Chain A
């Protein structure tokens, strides 16, 4: 019997120790990674370093994506992974270079623009598809027509072309034949594009996936099977896609020897695996299975000071949308003072540094930093300044004024947010900040999956919504156009004639006057934020990655596809 007791005690100790080991896991991990780092540092000083930047003999890279590829058909792609794949295996007339400036790619030289800004002529270079056949002007005509044809169901075709390329709107609405689209092949190597209005950022659009070429013969031959796996695709970009079965969690990029600029592509192979769990990505990275790993959530905070951590600024901006009308009735948010009070009542620095802790920065603007530049290469942010900064005292005054105007002394409002861990943490923060600073305000949190949020957004069934926007092209209008009366993302009954006029002018009279156009944008942003507080900016998103020091030359883009691997290479791994 005595023995039994001892055994029982031993068993309990064992259970306890396993639990303790499990709980202490993250600390151990932290120490382990630090140990690893110090080892790395030591070895770096011990082994004689190769000449800086000289590429290794072996150029194989291992990367992770956060989701499987839903499609690689340039007319159908609408997600981040799809656009990223497209950007690396195909190429449009222009490509974003290492400085994120659109430069001729399939086009041999800069396009000629007519004086009225309505016609662009592109000369194509001698480039080949991966099957060895030449890329021709007809391939662009076919692809664009296919993307605007309503029967294709292209999400980006009409979105990118309507109001820009001639007749696109009518064709996408089924009122005109797709052959009438403003794109003509003058000869095999000359392409003429006619626009509906002068579009100052048109050339940057030419690097966007939807405008890539497609070879008619190949697409027609494959039929429904086109782009459903890596064999049913043609490539004209730096890499070809291989070993992609259409649904699986892994694929490869292999250097495309038919690519016109193949001499400048150093990587021979990139292995990509879908890794959704951040902790797994970090473990794979530590184990040498990945050369770059995204770190999110609590891990981001843990790794933000790691020597291999790199912060990447994004151009997505997040903000509160204030719904002014619900079920045909005005909400308390129709009152401008109430909106201003809320917009100024939460600390954005703490949110970015402590709650998000992933490289995000506080936003007192809608058009992000390091995104759009004027004629003199000056950031739009310098031109437009800050709006709706945190100021609890002012918030309280606006709040009091707003409540008086509404004739109430308290309000209950609902914040609609996402159901991810980070969204929930953020919403809790808002609730505490808003309720502390604005007396009489009660915040209810509603955290729902993305699909539900879209539904509630489109039926305008919410009070305040945490929303965000990432640009599709490099121009402030990519953001400012969202909030014109009846704009696609407005869905909150905001309307201001002056604002609408400024945006309309930027597309019309001011289209060919860059300086005045940017001034109009700055004025519009001030109206939207400072005067009307139609939305309340929160933060500009950042990302933290762990990146091996030998991984060089990766270019991340502020809009469209996330990355170009064209210039990436490995140096110093051996």
Chain B
């Protein structure tokens, strides 16, 4: 197990290195330069600014400098937010995105699992149709539609929660989290239902039933655990996507998150911020995938992580 984890960590670093390299050179192919918008600068100034940000050097040299700084954890200086380090920028923007994503993930998954189980255990009943219906809604309607509907009805019309902004404490996070939660909710409900139905008809469940195990025991102790594995596989990337920010939902609720920052940095060719955000997203995703793999072993001991020797 330790050997497996060690190997995976090395792979993670290699992956990060490859992502950083690819992103760096892809960005060089973007039209325009970070100072393209500095249209009022004269040539002398342009040269000085280019030197200041190190973009006067050939791409390979820039790359070497960037990687050296990256190794020290320095993501560089933003072009758009004058003089601000990308580290600071990410730090200040990530919190709201993280809170929303985490809440959406926890709520969406828990409710989704509940609905899915209910549907599977009460197949072809009102509960089954109801939760299937929710799943269809959640997966077919994009989160921004939910966001607009929630904002309009719950906040604007019924005045139950804030319309937007990030200054009403936890209340500010409820509606955006709900809007974001519909995706994972639908996904979990669908997966759990399908898997549970399949597992419930397998031999070992029949055996458990024959042995006199009660319904609750069968559902949670025997079936649920097996049904969870495929769900975890798909939820990993979903979690990374959610926690690292949803551009549209953040925009609709006027939340100063990382999603909006990422898109606007691309718009103005803010190289350092684009790189920083991409690396942050990637690192998050890689870590989530790693955790998912570890979780497999925890949930189902039959899955051997270290090539059958563990």
Contacts and interface: CB of A to CB of B under 8 A. Distances in A.
Nearest to B33: A455
A284 B129 contact: no
A537 B81 CA distance: 34
A274 B255 CA distance: 8
Contacts of A174: 44, 48
Contact of A25 (B92, B149, B254): B149
A280 B151 contact: yes
A220 interface: no
Interface stretch (B67-75, B106-114, B164-172): B164-172
A67 B81 CA distance: 11
Nearest to B30: A451
Interface string B191-223: 000000000000000000000000000000000
Contacts of B83: 71, 73, 76, 224, 227-228
Interface string B9-53: 000000000000000000000011000111111111100110010
A281 B93 CA distance: 21
B93 A488 contact: no
A25 B148 contact: yes
A505 B148 CA distance: 57
B262 interface: no
Given A276-B260, A280-B253, A280-B254, A451 B268 contact: yes
A40 to B, nearest CB: 16
A78 interface: yes
Given A11-B129, A247-B93, A451-B36, A283 B44 contact: no
A452 interface: yes
Interface in A229-251: 245-250
Contacts of B93: 247-248
B256 A68 contact: yes
B148 A155 contact: no
B137 interface: yes
A78 B40 contact: yes
Contacts, number: 162
A451 B274 CA distance: 14
B256 to A, nearest CB: 3
A488 B152 contact: no
A452 B31 contact: yes
B165 to A, nearest CB: 5
A275 interface: yes
B151 A247 contact: no
Contact of B48 (A76, A153, A279): A153
Contacts of B287: none
A277 B159 contact: no
B175 to A, nearest CB: 11
Q: Identify the interface centre among A8, A76, A450, A488: most chain B CB within 10 Å of its CB.
A: A450
A276 B36 CA distance: 23
A71 B88 CA distance: 15
B165 A250 contact: yes
Interface in B146-196: 148-149, 151-152, 155-157, 159, 162-167
Contacts of A156: 40
Contacts of B261: 247
A283 B256 contact: no
A280 B163 contact: yes
Given A150-B45, A172-B45, A277 B251 contact: yes
Nearest to A448: B31
B289 to A, nearest CB: 29
Interface in B82-107: 82-84, 88-89, 92-93
B254 A158 contact: no
Q: Identify the interface centre among A71, A153, A281: most chain B CB within 10 Å of its CB.
A: A153
B280 interface: no
A25 B151 CA distance: 11
B124 to A, nearest CB: 6
Contacts of B268: 450-451
Contacts of B44: 150, 172-174
Contact of A277 (B39, B254, B256): B254
A455 to B, nearest CB: 4
Contacts of A22: 145, 149
Contacts of A554: none
Contacts of B252: 277, 279-280
A250 B82 contact: no
A249 B95 CA distance: 13
B178 to A, nearest CB: 15
Interface string A246-283: 11111000000000000000000000011111011101
Contacts of B260: 276
Q: Identify the interface centre among A29, A162, A451: most chain B CB within 10 Å of its CB.
A: A451
A267 to B, nearest CB: 19
A11 B45 contact: no
B230 interface: no
Contact of B133 (A15, A162, A452): A15
A57 interface: no
A11 B37 contact: no
B28 to A, nearest CB: 14
A335 interface: no
Contacts of B166: 249-250
B20 to A, nearest CB: 22
A25 B258 CA distance: 29
B81 A250 contact: no
Contacts of B292: none
Given A11-B129, A451-B268, A451-B269, A4 B254 contact: no
A286 B162 CA distance: 12
Given A173-B44, A451-B267, A454-B32, A153 B52 contact: yes
B80 interface: yes
A26 to B, nearest CB: 9
Contact of B49 (A14, A64, A153, A273): A153
A450 B267 CA distance: 7
B82 A451 contact: no
Interface string B104-143: 0000000000000000000010100110010011000000
Given A22-B145, A32-B157, A155 B48 contact: no
B219 to A, nearest CB: 23
Contact of A279 (B38, B133, B148): B148
Nearest to B80: A70
B164 to A, nearest CB: 5
Contacts of B151: 280, 283
Contacts of B81: 68, 70-71, 246-247
Contacts of A275: 164-165, 254
Contact of B89 (A15, A150, A173, A247): A247
B133 A273 contact: no
Contacts of A454: 32, 36-37, 39
A451 B31 contact: yes
A159 interface: yes
A513 to B, nearest CB: 29
A406 interface: no
Contact of A249 (B31, B88, B163, B254): B254
B256 A11 contact: no
Contacts of B163: 280, 283-284, 287, 289
A70 B89 CA distance: 11
17 contacts: A4-B124, A15-B133, A29-B152, A32-B157, A68-B256, A156-B40, A158-B42, A247-B89, A247-B256, A250-B166, A274-B256, A280-B151, A280-B164, A280-B251, A287-B155, A287-B163, A289-B164
Given A452-B31, A454-B39, 18 more contacts: A64-B254, A150-B45, A151-B48, A153-B48, A172-B44, A173-B42, A174-B44, A247-B261, A249-B256, A274-B256, A275-B165, A277-B252, A279-B252, A283-B156, A284-B163, A287-B156, A455-B36, A488-B39
Give 5 closest A-B pairs by Cβ, nearest first. Answer: A249-B256, A71-B82, A159-B40, A455-B32, A275-B254
